[in-house]
Amino acid sequence: MVSDRSGRALVPVTGNCPRILSIAGSDSGGGAGIQADIKTITMLGGHAMTAITAITAQNTLGVQAVHQLPTDLILQQIESVVSDIGVDAVKIGMIGSAEAALAVAEYLQRLGVAIIFDPVMVATSGSLLADRETIAAFGKLMDVASVVTPNLPELEALGGKEAILDHGCHLVIKGGHGEGSVVVDELHAPGGLIRRIEGKRIESSETHGTGCTFASALAVGLGSGLDLNAAFEQAISFTRIAILEAPGLGEGNGPLGHQFVTDFQDDDG
């Protein structure tokens, strides 16, 4: 297992079928959350396992209702799969509550595998998915994460690049919420910039679940033995192609086309 300077795992022990645990909320519309994670992990050749943190009534137009699951049930889901099947990497998305964030962070620090934390605060539709207390507890998850993957509004809400890197994790700054014809995604280590990838902006409203998809793809890459640089590149390619292949469902921000991604070469640039 390869680790960074803090001892945090970046490339865990792997096999032909990396075991990826997603800790996230359920999206009844199938576009984001657990559903997007399962599709991404499966398409990339991993075995998807889940610990559902919340159940949402959700579609392409927004989030109509949220039911937070008890923290002890979230932890039991994690323990059930870890104790029997094992895990090569973890992806964290919507965590639901401050209590759950703190408890999950405490549990995960003992695993010694790559942990990807996507600090979900607001759905693509604009619906709030984390309150102020929960966002404040994100610090504990960043303490145990190998990589944190905020979009630009989330980066600002968490205090900026240096504030996140002070937790000792790596950081992906996703440029999809930026402006201009070029999207810039950056990979940073606590010591500085590692990689910068530019791509032509894809003009599409079918972007529901892009953050979940990217973070899950990154987890699969690390769980399957890729180094961080290669996993970062693969995750970007998979996500971009899934956007291009979106099936055009719903009346709002539609889901990606995970099921139509057959290779990871993005000819669109």
Local confidence band at 9 (pLDDT 50, 70, 90 cut-offs): low
Residue 212 a catalytic site member:
yes
Q: Is 191 a catalytic residue?
A: no
What are the structural domains, with CATH classification, of the chain?
Answer: 18-170+206-259 (3.40.1190.20)
Q: Give percent of the chain with pLDDT exceeding 70.
A: 89
Find the catalytic residue in 40, 56, 174, 254.
174
Q: How far apart are CA 154 and CA 65, in angstroms?
A: 22
pLDDT of residue 14: 46
| pLDDT of res. 181 | 85
Catalytic residue among 31, 93, 175, 209: 209
The CB density around residue 22, as the number of other CB atoms within 10 Å, is: 28
Question: Among the options 25, 96, 211, 257, which is catalytic?
Answer: 211
Query: Which pLDDT value is given to residue 179?
Result: 72
Catalytic residue among 207, 221, 254, 257: 207
Q: Is the predicted pLDDT of residue 166 greater than 60, yes or no?
A: yes
Residues facing residue 91 across a β-bridge = 22, 116
> What average pLDDT score do residues 9-37 get?
85
CA distances from 47 to 39, 61, 105 (A): 10, 30, 22
- Tell me what the pLDDT averaged over the chain comes to: 90
pLDDT at 81 over 50: yes
Catalytic status, residue 209: yes
Give yes or no for residue 130 having a pLDDT over 80: no
Q: Percent of the chain at pLDDT above 90?
A: 79
If one compares 159 and 10, the residue with the highest pLDDT of the two is 159
Q: Is 60 a catalytic residue?
A: no
Q: Following DSSP, what letter does each residue of 75-139 receive, concatenated?
A: HHHHHHHHHHT--SEEEE----SHHHHHHHHHHHTTT-SEEEE----B-TTS-B-S-HHHHHHHH
Range from 38-52, 150-164, 173-187, 209-223 carrying the lowest mean pLDDT:
173-187
> Would you say residue 240 has pLDDT above 80?
yes
pLDDT at 73: 98
Region of poorest pLDDT, from 30-44, 129-143, 183-197, 234-248: 129-143
pLDDT classification of 263: cutoffs 50, 70, 90: confident
- Res. 138: pLDDT tops 90: yes
Please say if the pLDDT value at position 238 is more than 60. Answer: yes
* pLDDT at residue 268 tops 70: no
- Mean local confidence (pLDDT), 127-141: 82
pLDDT recorded at residue 195: 95
* Per annotation, catalytic residue among 91, 124, 212, 257: 212
Residue keyed to tokens 């959350």: 33
Indicate which residue of 210, 221, 254, 257 is catalytic.
210
Tell me the pLDDT tens digit for each residue of 105-128: 999 999 999 999 999 886 666 565
98 pLDDT above the threshold of 90: yes
